[in-house]
Structure 1
């Protein structure tokens, strides 16, 4: 008999369970143990990858949710400002009426209509307000100079 592959040596009848030598059993156990360890490492690696992907997806969805909440609150503030702006426009139109202003002046502020006899004409081309000279600054400056001069001559 020619032996082609030593791993598959069978002693005895093929109908009976083949007998393997003890060395071959140990090699076979080591191979199966290595395969089991590799399979466990693959499973752990795959679980880790799936866990990391899940965390990334959840964080992304939470960021999207937060942005949506900010958008909704901003839209609510815009709507509130628009309604307030509309109310202010209505009040502005109400106060723009000359009759309303006149009634408030007469009734609330007790103003009276001016007569033609009480009119005073003023010439606005003349400058009535005198310009103030900066004597205060000059006096302060002069006193400081005087003190310095006295200090120098002592």
Structure 2
């Protein structure tokens, strides 16, 4: 079984399942870690800054408002996530350079791809609660993801029991 299936078997009452709307990019399929959020719309300046600033081992959750008109993350930003050893990035919106990302040791989830780059105004909010995929993403909560789905919990789970 996979990580999320095992977690659901043991911790079903403690987890919330995100709607299965994300495609997977990068070589890593499984990841988990504490959530850091950024809320933007068609502007990825704060996405880059967050990738550079959040602690190693974290997961960046990007609420891009679900926009399909441009990408919020490309291979250059994915390289930052890879070099800083971030666990993963979840984008409620689009990414680009997916072919390059698929050759990188990263785990990216996004709704779709789009070759158009975002604007660069630096507008948005960092580390605020956001809601998409029918779940609340709160800074400091934990996310667990694999090929079967994405789970959110208030606290870190004891995975030694799996």
TM range (shorter): under 0.3
Could you state the TM-score of these two structures normalised by the residue count of structure 1?
0.14
If you compute each CA radius of gyration, which structure gives the higher value, 1 or 2? 1
Higher share of residues assigned helix: 1
Greater fraction strand: 2
What TM-score does the superposition give when structure 2 sets the normalisation length?
Answer: 0.13
